[in-house]
Amino acid sequence: MSSRSAASPLMAMPRATSPSLSDCAKKMVGLTTATVRSSGADPAAIVARFEREAVAAARIEHPNVATAKDFGRLDNGSFYLVPEYIEGKSLREVLDHGALRPDVALLIARQIASALEAAHAAGIVHRDLKPDNVMLTEDGFAK
């Protein structure tokens, strides 16, 4: 696992190389973990929701949606989700440097709307859409 991190649609995540792929086909991926803590919520319900979201994310194939590569449980009881790694900056990071030009803002908004349309068509509602959860690649492509 690399020590370099990047923001993702889920949270800041370390970059890793998938160990299950052969040396000639290794790809960079992100890594997100979730530990069920006692917060009054039913741990089984939290785990079921995390799993449902991982499976749902894997069903959506759209150029503006980060694909889920894997999901599972670690020996320590934490759950993990492996989304594709997106090289770039979050929309929040970009906006922190100033307002976008109207044409750029419109392009990004259209890409986000297209991704949401694909999610909704698959019966999925994104419950945490915000600039921190939208990644922009170096060429301005939104995911």
Distances (CA, A) of 88 to 2, 8, 10, 51, 140: 16, 9, 14, 27, 9
Tokens coding 64 = 């503006």
Q: Which of 23, 75, 103, 128 is catalytic?
A: 128
The amino acid present at 72, given as its one-letter code, is G
* d(C-alpha 129, C-alpha 116), whole Å: 10
Place of tokens 């698959």: 122
Is residue 70 among the annotated active site residues? Answer: no
Residue 74 exposure: Cα atoms within 13 Å on the Cβ side: 13
List residues with catalytic annotation: 128
